[in-house]
Chain A
Amino acid sequence: MTAQVITVTSGKGGVGKTTAVANLAVALAANGSRVVCIDGDIGLRNLDVILGLENRIVYDIVDVIEGRCRLKQAMIKDKRLPNLHLIPAAQTRDKNAVSASDMTRLTKDLRSECDFILIDSPAGIERGFKNAIAPADRVLVVTNPEVSAVRDADRVIGILEAEDKGPGSLIINRLNPSLVRRQEMLSADDVLDLLAIELIGIVPEDEGVLIGSNRGAPVALDLKSKAGEAFRNIARRLKGEEVPFLDLESGSSLWERIQKLAGRR
C-alpha cells in the first residue's frame, strides 16, 4: 500500500488552506486512514497551532532535510487520533532551505508508512508553492466566493496545468448561503462556471471554524457543525466514496421566509 500525496493550495492567502488541511487530516484519520500532514509554509508555521500540536514540536522539516534528525523523530503524533502525524515547518528558516527534490524525497520515504500525505502549501506561486506541488499526486485548490480569491485560484490552476499536475479539484470555502440567496455573493455554480474544474467540496461559513482554531481542535471533530460535515464529506470523497453535496443555498432563514411572504423578493 502506497500513500497518495495531496497538496492543498490557493494562490491567495487567508482563504483557508491550513484550516482545510487540518480538517481533512483529522477527518481522514478519524475514518481509519493513516495520515501524515506536512506544513510546507517555511518561516510562517501554522498547521501546528490549528491542529493543537504546537507544544510538542522538537524537530521540523528542515531538520529532517539537513540530516539533524530521522524522519520519525520529526513526526508528531496526535494524541486524539494516533494514526495522524504532523511534520511541522521550520519557523526560523526561509523557504530556500527546502527544494522540490527534498519534498519528493521526503514523501517517497513516507509513502509506505501511511495512506495519505497532506501538504499545506504556502500562499503565492513562488518557490514554496512549487515545492509543495512537486510531489503531489493530486492537488486541491481552495478558494472563497470572492473576486480576488477566484482570480488567484485561476492563476494557480493555469500553473498546475502547465506543470502537468492536472487542473486540480476545487474546494469552495466560506460560502455564506444567505448572501448567495440575496445575490450579493458568487454562488458555487458561478465559481465553478468561471474556474471550470472538478468540484470536491463546498464549505459554508461557520463560526465553529474559528472556535476550533482557538482550541486547536479542528471543526471536523465537531459532529454538529455544518462546516465540519462538509470537511468530513470531502475526506470521504478523497477516499473514493460518492457523497452528495450539502444543500446550502436553497434553505432559508426565518427572516428570509418572512420577507418572501411579504413579497419583498
Chain B
Amino acid sequence: MSFLDKLFGRKNSADSAKERLQLVLIHDRTDLTPAELESLRDDLIATVSRHVEIDVTAMQFGMEHDGRSQRLVADIPIKSASHRRRASSSRKPKAR
C-alpha cells in the first residue's frame, strides 16, 4: 500500500478482497440475489406492520455468517405503545 493510498484514505487491497468475498459468498451460499433480499425485506416489513407499528428507518436487516451457516438477521424497533395508542385513538371510528 503506497503512501498516496494512505493519504487519500484508500483501503488496502486485502481488506477490499475480504469484504467483497464476504458478500459474494453469502449470495453464493444462499442463492439469494441482492434484489431478492430486498424483496424479502419488504415482505417482512409488510407482515410485521400488520401486527405492530415499527420504525422502518431504524431497522437493521441483513445476512450474517456463523461458520459455514448463514443467518438472516433482522432487528426491528417497535414504536412505543403510548405512541401507538395516541395514533390509534385519533383514528378511532365515531360511535354511531
List chain A positions with a Cβ less than 8 A from chain B.
Answer: 146-147, 150-151, 154-155, 157-158, 161, 167, 180, 182-187, 190, 193-197, 264
Smallest distance from the beta carbon of A255 to chain B beta carbons, Å? 15
A-B pairs under 8 A by CB, number: 52
> Are B17's CB and A186's CB within 8 A?
yes
For A197, what are the chain B residues with a Cβ–Cβ distance below 8 Å? Answer: 68
> Are B28's CB and A151's CB within 8 A?
yes
> Are B21's CB and A184's CB within 8 A?
no
The 4 tightest CB contacts between A and B, nearest first, are: A183-B12, A196-B67, A183-B14, A196-B68
For A167, what are the chain B residues with a Cβ–Cβ distance below 8 Å? Answer: 68
> Are B1's CB and A182's CB within 8 A?
yes
Sorting the interface of chain B by its residue count into under 10, 10 to 19, 20 to 34 or 35 or more gives 10 to 19
Query: Can you list 5 A-B contacts with CB-CB less than 8 angstroms, sorted by A residue number?
Result: A151-B25, A183-B15, A184-B12, A185-B13, A264-B3
Cβ of B18 within 8 Å of any chain A Cβ, yes or no, is: yes
List chain B positions with a Cβ less than 8 A from chain A.
Answer: 1, 3, 12-15, 17-18, 20-22, 24-25, 28-29, 65, 67-68
> Are A183's CB and B13's CB within 8 A?
yes
For B65, what are the chain A residues with a Cβ–Cβ distance below 8 Å? Answer: 196
9 more contacts with CB within 8 A, not counting A180-B14, A186-B17, are A150-B21, A154-B25, A184-B13, A186-B14, A190-B17, A190-B18, A194-B18, A196-B65, A196-B67
The interface residues of chain A, by DSSP majority, are classed as helix
Smallest distance from the beta carbon of B14 to chain A beta carbons, Å? 5
Of the candidates B1, B12, B25, which one forms a contact with A194 in the assembled complex, judged by CB atoms under 8 Å apart? B25
> Are B12's CB and A157's CB within 8 A?
no
Complex alpha-carbon distance, A187 and B17, angstroms: 11
Assuming the contacts A183-B12, A183-B13, A196-B67, asked whether A147 and B20 have C-beta atoms less than 8 A apart, the reply is yes
Smallest distance from the beta carbon of A187 to chain B beta carbons, Å? 7
For A183, what are the chain B residues with a Cβ–Cβ distance below 8 Å? Answer: 1, 12-15
Smallest distance from the beta carbon of A33 to chain B beta carbons, Å? 31
Complex alpha-carbon distance, A129 and B34, angstroms: 30
Complex alpha-carbon distance, A151 and B27, angstroms: 11
For A155, what are the chain B residues with a Cβ–Cβ distance below 8 Å? Answer: 28
For B12, what are the chain A residues with a Cβ–Cβ distance below 8 Å? Answer: 182-184
For B68, what are the chain A residues with a Cβ–Cβ distance below 8 Å? Answer: 157, 161, 167, 195-197
> Are A194's CB and B22's CB within 8 A?
yes
For A158, what are the chain B residues with a Cβ–Cβ distance below 8 Å? Answer: 28-29
For A151, what are the chain B residues with a Cβ–Cβ distance below 8 Å? Answer: 21, 24-25, 28
> Are B14's CB and A154's CB within 8 A?
no
